[in-house]
């Protein structure tokens, strides 16, 4: 602390994480932002060299030692580090040699990039989804207009046909026109804006749970992990049921088509503070997670799976995830996904107005 001198109160309140290392690479000072970023107090880390509580790759370890020996500053962008608690972080950090009383030390300045990268990713996802929705809606309306004409003409032709056996062909035209119209309606998503009313999120999830358990006939174990303290949220109950049900059915289909030992789906709820969705930061948010232990999502469709008509299954319509994302976006929320073999998590975020 003596090396920081009279500026300690200013440095302690910086949003930049600041750590001062001595010649043995042990922390002799750490401001509060650094403690928050690393999730541990300075007192616990002080006796240990930095490389014991901050896992860097070999190149970055060598750079750190060379900076101390050669008095050479450097900066690393978007470095992947692991804290003593095993938390993986993406940070920008700078290392600068500084003169201490009887030796040379290092000043580390770190900025967490995880939140900024997440915001950028969310903004890109929202923008791409909105662009795709506008394209699909325009194309769907263009398709529906001639479909109505084809169907009407087939009905008129059916009335004029003298031979009843020929009406079989007009019936095929009418049925196929209706099928295409239904597909276009699904592409367009819900026809009305959500009717936002205060609802308990668990009443929605219980409805989804009841429907899902009935559909799988005990072939998959469902686990409920609810946080009962979540306050009511403003949502359209029927639309939210559809959005979550699509995610659960997606998990069911994954476990059914590629069977695993002890297939299970977990429905989990939590509250999270200071969550950014799109361009808005919310003090409190509801997190709904649909977790399955299936084989995971193919890498080739991970970035595009929320777009219409994108499906990892040969017989899939590719509309379920797109519709869910659209419904949730209408509620000012967002759906994210992370997937690896044995653990696929769809995270549905909704703002809470408490």
Closest CA to 240 of 279, 208, 283, 286: 208
Please tell me the predicted confidence (pLDDT) of residue 123.
Answer: 67
- Under 8 Å between Cβ of 113 and 103: no
Q: Of the segments 8-22, 72-86, 259-273, 312-326, which one has the largest average pLDDT value? A: 259-273
Query: CA-CA distance, 353 to 198, in Å (whole number)?
Result: 10
Q: Of the segments 168-172, 200-204, 280-284, which one has the largest average pLDDT value? A: 200-204
| Per-residue confidence band for 120, with pLDDT thresholds at 50, 70 and 90 | low
Residues 6+ apart with CB under 8 A from 274: 281, 282, 283
Considering 84, 112, 140, which residue would you say is the last residue of a domain? 112
- Under 8 Å between Cβ of 198 and 350: no
**Residue 124 pLDDT > 60:** yes
Among the residue ranges 60-69, 76-85, 301-310, the one predicted with the least confidence is 301-310
Are 103 and 183 in the same domain?
A: no
Are 28 and 166 in the same domain?
A: no
Are 105 and 131 in the same domain?
A: no
Please tell me the predicted confidence (pLDDT) of residue 36.
Answer: 81
Are 179 and 212 in the same domain?
A: no
The total of other beta-carbon atoms located within 10 Å of residue 70's CB is 8
Higher pLDDT, 184 or 194: 194
Are 347 and 247 in the same domain?
A: yes
Are 228 and 334 in the same domain?
A: yes
Exposure letters 223-233 (e unless 16+ CB within 10 A, then b): eeeeeeebeeb
- Under 8 Å between Cβ of 254 and 295: yes
C-alpha separations of 77 from 60, 112, 295 in Å: 11, 10, 33
Q: Which two tokens stand for residue 198?
A: 């205060």
**Residue 293 pLDDT > 90:** yes
Are 24 and 72 in the same domain?
A: yes
Q: What's the CATH code of the domain at 91?
A: 3.30.450.20
Are 205 and 244 in the same domain?
A: yes
Residue with tokens 């750590």: 19
Task: Give the model confidence (pLDDT) of 243-261 as tens digits.
Answer: 999 999 989 988 988 888 8
Closest CA to 337 of 328, 347, 350, 324: 347
Please tell me the predicted confidence (pLDDT) of residue 2.
Answer: 45
- Please count the structural domains in the chain: 3
Q: Which domain holds residue 243?
A: 197-351
Provide the mean pLDDT of the chain: 82
**Residue 314 pLDDT > 70:** no
Considering 188, 222, 239, which residue would you say is the last residue of a domain? 188
Please tell me the predicted confidence (pLDDT) of residue 1.
Answer: 42
Considering 166, 188, 210, which residue would you say is the last residue of a domain? 188
Higher pLDDT, 12 or 258: 258
Query: CA-CA distance, 266 to 212, in Å (whole number)?
Result: 12
Are 133 and 204 in the same domain?
A: no
pLDDT above 70 covers a percentage of the chain that reads 82
Are 105 and 121 in the same domain?
A: no
Are 217 and 316 in the same domain?
A: yes
**Residue 213 pLDDT > 80:** yes
**Residue 137 pLDDT > 90:** no
| Per-residue confidence band for 201, with pLDDT thresholds at 50, 70 and 90 | very high
Q: Is 16 helix (H, G, I), strand (E, B) or coil?
A: coil
| DSSP code for 303 | T
Residues 6+ apart with CB under 8 A from 311: 301, 317, 318
Query: CA-CA distance, 162 to 136, in Å (whole number)?
Result: 41
Q: Which segments of the chain does DSSP mark as H helices, in order?
A: 8-12, 32-38, 42-45, 50-53, 58-70, 114-160, 167-188, 201-216, 237-257, 320-330
**Residue 323 pLDDT > 90:** no
**Residue 230 pLDDT > 90:** yes
Are 207 and 108 in the same domain?
A: no
Estimate to the nearest angstrom the gap between the alpha carbon of 304 and the chain centroid. Answer: 13
Among the residue ranges 94-108, 177-191, 229-243, 284-298, the one predicted with the least confidence is 177-191
Query: CA-CA distance, 51 to 37, in Å (whole number)?
Result: 16
- Under 8 Å between Cβ of 96 and 107: yes
Mean pLDDT, residues 9-28? 82
pTM over 0.85: no
């Amino acid at each position: 602390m003596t090396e920081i001198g009279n500026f300690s109160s200013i440095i302690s309140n910086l949003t930049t994480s600041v750590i001062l290392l001595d010649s043995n690479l042990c922390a002799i000072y750490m401001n509060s932002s650094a403690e928050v970023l690393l999730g541990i107090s300075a007192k616990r880390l002080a006796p240990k060299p930095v490389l014991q509580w901050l896992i860097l790759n070999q190149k970055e370890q060598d750079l750190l030692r060379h900076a101390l020996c050669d008095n050479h500053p450097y900066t690393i962008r978007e470095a992947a580090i692991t804290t003593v608690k095993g938390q993986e972080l993406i940070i920008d950090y700078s290392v600068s040699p500084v003169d201490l009383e009887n030796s040379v030390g290092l000043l580390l300045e770190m900025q967490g990039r995880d939140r900024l990268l997440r915001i950028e990713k969310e903004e890109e996802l929202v923008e791409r989804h909105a662009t795709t929705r506008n394209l699909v809606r325009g194309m769907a309306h263009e398709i529906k207009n001639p479909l109505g004409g084809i169907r009407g003409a087939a009905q008129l032709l059916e009335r004029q046909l003298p031979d009843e056996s020929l009406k079989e062909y007009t019936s095929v035209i009418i049925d196929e026109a209706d099928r295409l119209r239904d597909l276009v309606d699904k592409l367009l998503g819900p026809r009305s804006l959500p009717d936002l009313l205060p609802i308990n999120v668990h009443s929605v999830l219980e409805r989804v749970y009841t429907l899902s358990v009935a559909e799988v006939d005990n072939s998959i174990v469902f686990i409920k992990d609810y946080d009962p303290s979540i306050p009511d949220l403003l949502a359209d109950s029927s639309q939210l049921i559809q959005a979550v049900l699509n995610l659960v059915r997606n998990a069911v289909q994954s476990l059914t088509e590629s069977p695993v030992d002890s297939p299970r789906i977990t429905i989990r709820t939590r509250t999270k503070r200071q969550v950014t969705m799109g361009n808005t930061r919310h003090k409190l948010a509801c997190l709904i997670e649909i977790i399955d232990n299936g084989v995971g999502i193919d890498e080739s469709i991970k970035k595009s799976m929320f777009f219409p008509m994108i499906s990892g299954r040969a017989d899939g319509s590719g509309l379920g995830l797109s519709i869910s994302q659209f419904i949730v976006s209408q509620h000012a929320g967002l759906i994210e996904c992370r997937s690896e073999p044995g653990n696929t998590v769809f995270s549905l975020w909704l703002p809470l107005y408490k």
